[in-house]
Structures are given as C-alpha cells and as structure tokens.
C-alpha cells in the first residue's frame, strides 16, 4: 500500500469524485477524514449523512476513516479539524479539496448571496483548509495537497460565480506551490470531467440534445456525451499526486476524464506589440495595430456577433 500510515482529509467525500478519492486513499492505507455536511447540489440543508456512508464502506473494507459534517466555508471549524488530527495522530499529510456547490444564473439575475455562497464554499473553502494544514505541513517538512477546479475557469455561461471561484483556485494552487517549495509540500489542481449529480442534470442532458438538433454538435460529439464517465476515473491520478513519489510535481493543472489526462500551460506570450521609441502607444496607433497585428488570426474567446443582433440575443437569455 502506497499511503500506509498517512493521514488524509478529503472534502466533499460523501458523493461523486470525493467519495471515489476517499475510498482509494483508504485502500492504499491512508487514514481518511471524510468531510461532507450532506447538503444538496445548491447548498440547501438536507438530513443526509453521506460522510457516514463512505466511512462505513471504508471500514467494511478494513480501512480507517472518520466522518466530519462541518462546511469547508467555516474557517474555525476547518482549523479545529486539522488541529484535532495533528493532536491525536501527530501530523496531517494529505489534503484533497473536492467540496462544492452550484448556484447557476446569468450575471444580471444572480444575487449577491448566490455569488457569495459559491465563492465561500469553493475558493474560500479551499483556502481555509489549506491555510490550517500548511501550517503543520511546514513543521513536518512534508505535505501533499490536491485542489479541484474546473474547465469552467475558461469562462462559463450562467456560472460566473463558479468560473471565478475555479479560476481563483488555480491561482491559489500555484501560489501555495511556490510558497511551500522548500518544505517538500506539493500543491496541484485538477479540472475533472465526470458525470455526477453536480454535472449530469436533466437540464444538461436537454441542452446537449438541443445543441445536437441545432447542428452545434456533431453526432459523434453528441454520442460521446452520452457515454457515462464515472467519477472513479478521476481518483487514480489524485491518489498518485498524494504519494511521496510525486515530489517533483507541484503547481500543475491537470484535466482528467475517462481515458484521458492532459496538462494546461499558463504564462506563455502568444503575440505582442513593441513600441521602439518612447514606449508610449498612441490611440491612433492602437486603432490599427490591435486588430491588424495583435489580434489578427487569434481564435476569439467569444464568437463575433453583429451588434445589430445583440439585442435579440440578449432577449433570449433574459429568462435564464
């Protein structure tokens, strides 16, 4: 077993990807704390205790696990969790942050509470646990952190709160990796693609069908979306990143889905403008240089739309 004797916290461990990660880490010998308050997809209160279920499954398999029902957005509770593990077991080796909620709405209809909830659970929740855990990891000169973002960091319609949080998590991860590089602490981030209760809703299925019927998706692309991509495909790479052998990998962003893993690269310059005189561009110079040189040939982030049609497109989205 590759994680024998290690202590691990997995948030969002009651269902989906978090559950699969918790099961695999325990199978590899880690003592796992499964953190999950049992809330609904949008953060609403329920009477569910999925953390108990995954803990029972781990113990039935001969592993070690404990349940925690606190929300990751509570700074003090996450501190109590980490400090308690260190007090009773001497160390905290592994943190995997998968917990999350969704509150989807277009920006003009999104409320402040909907924005804050998603930011607090995703971005602040990651920071809370990492903050408390890293303090102890630095003293031990060892730690493995795996955070969870999403391809939504590229921009996601109806999910500006979620996309902003995930982009922030990627930057947070890279910052932690740089700050802890001398302490054998690694911090990496995963952008998963898996079908769970969070991602594969009836609305998502209906939207895929509409795209296919409208010619926005080929038959091959549509049929691929209908193949169930279980969360179990995400867990092995996460487990690898928690092993001592992954010491040289830190600050990296991995996309993972069934049968495919790839990395993202940041910071490269695609194309530039250089002013060889006093360094000051004039507006007239930019009016020509930006469209004809800087942006010429680059794939647009947003498809070009005739301004005359913008009003009608906006009207279609008002109800979202």
**Residues 13-68: tens digit of each pLDDT:** 999 999 999 999 999 999 999 999 988 666 667 778 899 999 999 999 999 999 99
119 touches 103 (CB < 8 A): no
pLDDT at site 221: 74
Out of 191-195, 221-225, 286-290, pick the least confident.
221-225
Same domain, 122 and 175: yes
Contacts of 109 (CB under 8 A, 6+ apart): 320
Same domain, 210 and 235: no
Same domain, 224 and 242: no
Bridge partners (DSSP) listed for residue 314: none
Is there a domain that residue 98 lies in? yes
- The string over 139-169, giving b where at least 16 C-beta atoms fall within 10 Å of a residue's C-beta and e elsewhere, is eeebbbbbbbbbebbeebebbbbbbbbbbbb
The tally of domains found in the chain comes to 3
Same domain, 135 and 248: yes
Helix (H, G, I), strand (E, B) or coil at 49: coil
Contacts of 96 (CB under 8 A, 6+ apart): 8, 9, 10, 11, 18, 21, 25, 145, 146, 148, 238, 242
Rounded to whole angstroms, how far apart are CA atoms 318 and 308?
Answer: 17
Rounded to whole angstroms, how far apart are CA atoms 161 and 112?
Answer: 10
pLDDT at site 316: 46
Contacts of 34 (CB under 8 A, 6+ apart): 10, 13, 14, 18, 22, 51, 54, 55, 58, 65, 66, 67, 68
Rounded to whole angstroms, how far apart are CA atoms 123 and 128?
Answer: 9
Same domain, 132 and 161: yes
User: Is 265 among the catalytic positions?
Assistant: no
Same domain, 187 and 60: yes
- pLDDT tens-digit map of 97-128: 999 999 989 999 999 999 999 999 999 999 99
145 touches 185 (CB < 8 A): yes
Q: Annotated catalytic residue: which of 162, 240, 265, 266?
A: 162
Whether 236 shows a pLDDT value over 70: the answer reads yes
| Residue-range definition of the domain harbouring residue 100 | 7-194+230-263
Burial class (CB in 10 A: 0-12, 13-18, 19+), 304: exposed
pLDDT at site 228: 60
Is there a domain that residue 144 lies in? yes
**Residue 69: how many other CB atoms lie within 10 Å:** 16
Same domain, 66 and 94: yes
Specify the higher pLDDT residue, 113 or 223: 113
């Amino acid at each position: 077993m590759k994680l024998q004797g290690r202590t691990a916290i997995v948030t969002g461990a009651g269902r989906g990807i978090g559950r699969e990660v918790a099961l695999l880490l325990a199978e590899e010998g880690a003592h796992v704390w499964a953190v999950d308050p049992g809330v609904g997809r949008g953060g609403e209160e329920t009477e569910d205790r999925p953390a108990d279920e995954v803990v029972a499954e781990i113990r039935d398999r001969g592993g070690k696990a404990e349940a925690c029902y606190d929300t990751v957005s509570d700074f003090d509770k996450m501190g109590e969790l980490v400090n308690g593990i260190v007090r009773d077991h001497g160390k905290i080796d592994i943190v995997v942050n998968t917990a999350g909620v969704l509150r989807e709405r277009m920006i003009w209809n999104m409320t402040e509470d909907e924005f804050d909830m998603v930011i607090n659970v995703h971005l602040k929740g990651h920071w809370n646990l990492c903050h408390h855990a890293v303090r102890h990891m630095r003293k031990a000169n060892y730690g493995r952190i795996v955070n969870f973002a999403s391809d939504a960091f590229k921009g996601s319609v109806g999910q500006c709160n979620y996309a902003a949080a995930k982009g922030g998590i990627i930057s947070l991860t890279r910052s932690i990796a740089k700050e802890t590089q001398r302490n054998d602490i690694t911090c990496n981030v995963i952008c998963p693609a898996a079908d769970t209760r969070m991602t594969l809703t009836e609305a998502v299925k209906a939207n895929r069908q509409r795209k296919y019927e409208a010619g926005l998706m080929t038959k091959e692309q549509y049929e691929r979306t209908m193949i169930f991509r279980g969360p179990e495909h995400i867990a092995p790479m996460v487990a690898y990143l928690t092993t001592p052998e992954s010491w040289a990998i830190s600050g990296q962003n991995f996309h993972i889905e069934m049968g495919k893993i790839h990395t993202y690269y940041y910071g490269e310059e695609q194309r530039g403008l250089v002013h060889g005189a006093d360094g000051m561009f004039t507006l007239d110079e930019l009016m020509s240089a930006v469209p004809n040189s800087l942006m010429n040939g680059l794939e647009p982030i947003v498809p070009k739309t005739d301004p005359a049609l913008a009003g009608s497109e906006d009207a279609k989205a008002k109800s979202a």
